[in-house]
Structures are given as C-alpha cells and as structure tokens.
Structure 1
Amino acid sequence: MSTAASPFDDIRQLIVSMPGPDEAAVEAVRARDGQLTKPAGSLGRLEWLAEWLAAWQGKAPPTVARPLVCVFAASHGVTAKGVSAFPAEVNRQMLETFAAGGGAINQICAANGLGFKVFDLALDLPTGDITEGPAMSEKDAVATMAFGMEAVAGGTDLLGIGEMGIGNTTIAAAIYAALFGGTPAHWVGRGTGVDDAGLARKVAVVEAALAQHAGHLDDPLEVLARLGGRDIAAMAGAILAARAQRVPVVLDGYVATAAAAILFAIHPSTIDHCVAGHLSAEGAHRDVLERLGKIPLLALGMRLGEGSGAALAMSLVKSAAAIHADMATFDQAGVSKREG
C-alpha cells in the first residue's frame, strides 16, 4: 500500500522520533540498589521494575506519585453478529456504573491510590461491522488516536490503560490473526462468557472479517482502521503520547495488548516503555505476550478488562519505586555488607 499523503503519515513520523531509554538513570538505580540492605537480586523483578521506571521516566530515583488508570469505552458494530453474551446497551450502563464508583476498577484504584479516568469514545455510535467493511476510515482512526494522546494528563508519572466495550475481544482476535497469522480459532476466546455456539459465531466473524479485508492488511495501521475499534485506537494513541512524555505504561489484558501489538508491528521498540500488567484468561493472550517479549507481572486468571489487571500491577510498580527510594542503605542502617 502506498502511504503517500496518508492520514497515518504523522503517526509514523511520531514513532521514529520517540525518545529512548535513559541509560544513565538505569546505572544510577543499579548503583543505589547495590547499597541497599538486602542481598543482590533478592527482590527479583521488583529490582528490574525500578530500573525500567528510571529508564523511561529519565530520572533516578524514579517516582510513582501521580499514577493514572485510563479506560477507553467504545461500541463495536460487530456486536450485531451475536459475538457477546451481553447486549450492546451494557456499554452505557457500565459507563454509568464507573461514574457512580461501582465498578471493580473503582475499588482497585481506590485501594491502591491510583487516579482513574474514563473516556467515552462516541459510545452511542458503533464503528462499522468489520465483516461488511472497515471499522473506521483512516482519518477517523487517526483522530481517535489523537484523542487518546490528549488523554495522557500532564504530570502523570505512571499510566495504566484499559478498555470497556461489548464485542471488543472479537475485534482484538481479528487484529491478532491479521498481524500474526494462524487460524482465527486460535485467537478467539469466550470473552464475556459465550457458550459453544457463541464461540463458533465469534470464530466465523473473524474469518469473515479477514476475508472481507484480504489484501489490505499488510500495514499495521491499516489493520487498526479496518479491524479495530475506537478503544484500541485511543489506547494506541495513549501509549505513544506516554512515550513522548516519558511516562511508563502498564498494559491491561487481551484487548489493551492489541493496541500495543499494532505499534509493535510497526516497530518493536515502540512499546519498550510498556510492561504487561497481567496474563489474561482470554483467548491466546499468553501467545501474544510471548510474541511481544513481555512477561506479565501477575497471573490471576482474570478476564474482566476495564483496566483491572493493569491497576493491580501498578501497585507492584509503586512498591518497587518506594523500596528503591526509601529503603536504607548498608551505611545508613549500620548493617555489615557481604564479604568478598
């Protein structure tokens, strides 16, 4: 596909101009870690998390003072094909639940001192049915990515991204099949809990969507426009904005990872500032994470979405930052260092 005068040109240019990791900050973290009152390596991946935070915040010690979870809510035209156990009107009802503080994500954020924002992405206007045509035009996809970029609040130092949208596990499965190949059945899971007949419908929908858009799925951004949704486009935009602003990102589950997979397919280093919050029970999430080179921080068998796994993982990241910044050194505590 020719990219001349494409609405995606600005996105491609942004990706190639992204800042890289701050290696000096990483070395400073390692030097301090060697002085803390513990055996080297004894905190495992928490030590790595402190280094990762420093690399992408560009400072040592890193801080998590203003963590934020952003949930992007969208409607998908493909729900008309019976791919979900719940009707489309649940989208609006869940948004109202979040606003009233009644969602699982509300409780997780409150318990762990995390900021929380929900973004309504034209919830009453579903995207196109991907079995019949593109979900979005290129222009609409880019505009939605730009909206996601704007959602990254100034001053945020750790971002968790999640989504809410009936039908979006079908959308994510179609994206993975387009990006990575394999049979649609490999990528499709039960989502909100569909029965065997519902699962078969989901597989058939993904097969039909891939056939409908055959010959137009070589460009990852074209995959996003044709097979994606506003939630996934906005999350991709938020990931890019976070990178530009030196904000590390914690990804939620199966659907949120689809946004990262689009960016990874453009260039793998684009998501180096992201960690996988958890391993979802949905679909082939483990396969996706292995392809992206991401080891999940948690594996709790969750498949709720709405940023819940990312938010729980952010509590670990907060702990890693606090341990590194506030733990006593051997000299401060008067503890003898290991000999030799």
Structure 2
Amino acid sequence: MTTLNLDDFSDLIERPDGGTRRDAEERRERLAVPPGALGRLDELGEWLSAAQGSVPVRAVGQPRAVVFAGDHGVASLDVSGRPAGSAHELVRAFLEGASPAAVLARRAGVPVRIIDAGLDCDPELLPDEVVRHRVRRGSGRIDVENALTIEEAEQAVRLGMRIADEEADSGTDLVVLGDLSVGGTTPASTLIAALCGTDASVVTGRGGAGIDDLAWMRKCAAVRDALRRARPVLGDQLELLATVGGADLAAATGFLLQSAVRRVPVILDGVVSAACALVGQRAAFRAPDWWIAGHMSGEPAQAKALDRMALVPLLDQGVTLGEGTGALLALPLVQAAAALAAELPEAPLAPAPEKDADDGAAADADPASD
C-alpha cells in the first residue's frame, strides 16, 4: 500500500522569487549594453537570479549531471535501435568516458552521477555506487503489463527525491538531467500522449538510436496499446508511472519535483526528461518554473510536452542522442548568461543639466523691486 501522493507537491513547491526577478530586470535596464541586445541570455540570467533569490545573479559554481538508468521490457518488441537489456553497456561507456555526454561533461568540468534505477543486468557488471540504488531489474512490458508495482513506483519516486536532497545538501546549484535507457522513449511517448490527449502516431518518434520504418510501426503499436492501459489511471500520477512508466522515469520524476521543492534549477534533456517533467507538472503546476529545456531532440513527443509546459528549448542542433547530451550542450549558455548578468557594468548616470546663468539671475531677483 502506497503512502505517497504526488499531488502533495503542489503545496510544497513555490515559484522562483518574483520580486527578485523584477529587481534583476530593473538592473538589466541599467546596464551599459542596450536591453534586448543579448537576446535570451537576458531572460536566462533573470530566471537564474529569481531561482537563487539573488541580485546580481551568482555564477553557476557547482553544476552536476544526474543521469537515471534503466531497461524497459517493451524493448523486446524490437522498438529500439539497441538490443533489449543492453542499457548497462551505455552506462559502462559513460563511466569510461567513451560516450558523447561523457566527453562534454569532462570538457565542461561537470561531475556526473549515474543512478541505476532499473537496469536489467547483474549488479557485478557495474560499480556499487551506480547499482546500489536499483529498484528492480528491468521494467515490465507496458503494452501488456504494468511497468512496476505501485510499491516499486513509490520506491523509485522516493529514490529520486533522496538523490535531489543529497544534491541540494551538497551545494549543487544547477542540475543537468539525463537518462540512459533502452526502450525508454516508448514509455516516455506513452506518458506524454496520455497527458496531452494525443494519439500514438502523433508522438511516436525514432528514438536516440534511430529505427527503420518497420521498427517505427512496431513502436507505434506498442505506444497505442500502452496508451489504452494508461487512460484509466490518469487521475493518479503515481499509478500512471507504475502502469506505463518505469523505475528510471519514476525516479527522475521524483527528482524533478524534489529539486523544485529545494529550489535547485534543472536543465532538461530530451523526450524522457520531458515526459517526467510533464508528469511533475500534472502533480504540481508551479514546478516547471524551476526547469528549462536544454535542446530540441527531434522527438515529436518532446515537442508536445514542452509546448504544454510553455518551455522553449535553448538549442536546436539536430542532436537526437539522449544521456544528457543536449542539456550539457546548453549548460555553457546558462553559465554565460549568469556571468553577463553579474559582471557587465551599469551605464554611468547622465550628468544633471546646468542652469542657465540668466535664468538663475532672474530667479534670484526680487519681484518687489520693480
């Protein structure tokens, strides 16, 4: 029996400080660089200022990449470009620095934390700090069965909440959220279709690994069948995650919500993090104010979710890979926005106009002397 109600987050999450944001906007008006000349960088700096409650904004000093990993049973239907149960290989490549996201994190000096929420592999294949959080081995095939039991869904959400608390307590001031999964875009697309009231064909994309037309049709059918199972439980977000989500998606949802509670801003990556964010928005409507979309992944479901949350991606470079790659690419933009807002000088005040000598003499004259 679950004791967790995601709707309770609605009372726990406040918006970033509106007064601070207005102060940041006023300060921006006083800078030597003309308003509007820096485009969205101004908006980013003001968003960060409100999140921090600080004017001027502080530099992003302790960013962290947090990546939730898991395997999905639906991958056995050949809906992914990778073999079912092979997500641990992606994790291993990341740990060895051989993946694009690992390269970007290393170049940016961003520490990475990978959490195994539901990988389908022997724990001995990966370091203990990765696998010790595992909720279960793999998630169920969502077209015909639940991804998780309700108890496992609660455990996964609480795992994400705990990781968010640990990051906030350690001083992390900005999180890059990523995912490492095989089959993960299928439950993500299902969640988004269910929450947006959309058909399977509208949200089904080709995933980070890329799939051919036959695989796309299988994936579309899987989303369609999972969507039929999702609609009856739309009123309960935890049950929705248990029915058509997965351990990694449930953990990421808990992480996003608790990060908003702890006032830690997050850069979202692709369709998986967008799906988790959309579930989070359904639970707590103010939560998306703490998130920004790093990039446009090309997945139609991601575009649908971001539009519903009114989040405009920072980048659109055609990057379809997950793992936090797009969010890591966006991180330097956020850091640059903070630096510009904090370090650009204010324009000097214009000198007061001098009084005309004749005007002054006339003003000093005594009218009674005429």
TM-score (norm 2): 0.84
* Cα distance per residue 1:109-150 (max 9 Å; x no partner): 122232221111131211111122211122211211111122
- CA gap 1:42/1:194 in 2 versus in 1, 3 angstroms: same
Residue of structure 2 aligned with 1:302, choices 302, 306, 319: 319
Superposition deviation, residue 330 in structure 1: 2.2
Partner Cα distance (2:48, 2:256) in 1: 15
Partner Cα distance (1:240, 1:267) in 2: 8
Matching of residues 163-178 of structure 1 within 5 Å = 163-178=179-194
Superposition deviation, residue 303 in structure 1: 1.2
Partner Cα distance (1:245, 1:61) in 2: 21
Partner Cα distance (1:194, 1:90) in 2: 16
Residue of structure 1 aligned with 2:107, choices 111, 126, 131: 111
Residue of structure 1 aligned with 2:40, choices 23, 39, 45: 45
Superposition deviation, residue 89 in structure 1: 4.1
Partner Cα distance (1:47, 1:304) in 2: 28
Superposition deviation, residue 70 in structure 1: 0.7
Superposition deviation, residue 168 in structure 1: 0.6
Query: Who is 1:24 aligned against?
Result: 19
Partner Cα distance (2:17, 2:233) in 1: 38
Partner Cα distance (2:38, 2:85) in 1: 45
Query: Who is 1:181 aligned against?
Result: 197
Residue of structure 2 aligned with 1:266, choices 258, 271, 283: 283
- CA gap 1:115/1:25 in 2 versus in 1, 3 angstroms: farther
Superposition deviation, residue 266 in structure 1: 2.5
Matching of residues 82-93 of structure 1 within 5 Å = 82-93=78-89
Superposition deviation, residue 39 in structure 1: 0.6
In the alignment, structure 2 segments of 5+ residues that lack a partner are 121-136, 354-370
Query: Who is 2:92 aligned against?
Result: 96
Superposition deviation, residue 19 in structure 1: 2.6
Say how many residue pairs are matched: 330
1:136 aligns with 2:148: yes
* Cα distance per residue 1:184-241 (max 9 Å; x no partner): 0111011121111101100111112223445223333322121001221111111112
Percent pairwise identity: 35
Query: Who is 1:219 aligned against?
Result: 236
1:74 aligns with 2:70: yes
Partner Cα distance (1:6, 1:121) in 2: 18
1:196 partner letter: D
1:83 partner letter: V
| Higher Cα radius of gyration | 2
Partner Cα distance (2:112, 2:68) in 1: 11
Partner Cα distance (2:159, 2:232) in 1: 29
Query: Who is 1:254 aligned against?
Result: 271
Residues 69 and 116 in structure 2, CA contact (< 8 A), matched pair in contact too? yes
Task: Give me the CA root mean square deviation.
Answer: 1.9
| Structure 1 stretches of at least 4 aligned residues deviating more than 6 Å after TM superposition | none
Partner Cα distance (1:214, 1:150) in 2: 29
Residues 130 and 226 in structure 1, CA contact (< 8 A), matched pair in contact too? yes
Superposition deviation, residue 173 in structure 1: 1.0
- CA gap 1:165/1:323 in 2 versus in 1, 3 angstroms: same
1:180 partner letter: C
Superposition deviation, residue 8 in structure 1: 3.0
Residue of structure 2 aligned with 1:235, choices 237, 249, 252: 252
Superposition deviation, residue 272 in structure 1: 1.2
Residues 190 and 283 in structure 1, CA contact (< 8 A), matched pair in contact too? no
* Cα distance per residue 1:280-338 (max 9 Å; x no partner): 1123322221111111111111110101111111111100001111122223xxx979x
Superposition deviation, residue 21 in structure 1: 1.8
Residue of structure 2 aligned with 1:54, choices 43, 49, 58: 49
- CA gap 1:89/1:132 in 2 versus in 1, 3 angstroms: closer
In the alignment, structure 1 segments of 5+ residues that lack a partner are none
Partner Cα distance (1:128, 1:190) in 2: 21
Partner Cα distance (1:155, 1:170) in 2: 34
Task: Decide which moves more: 238-247 or 29-38.
Answer: 29-38
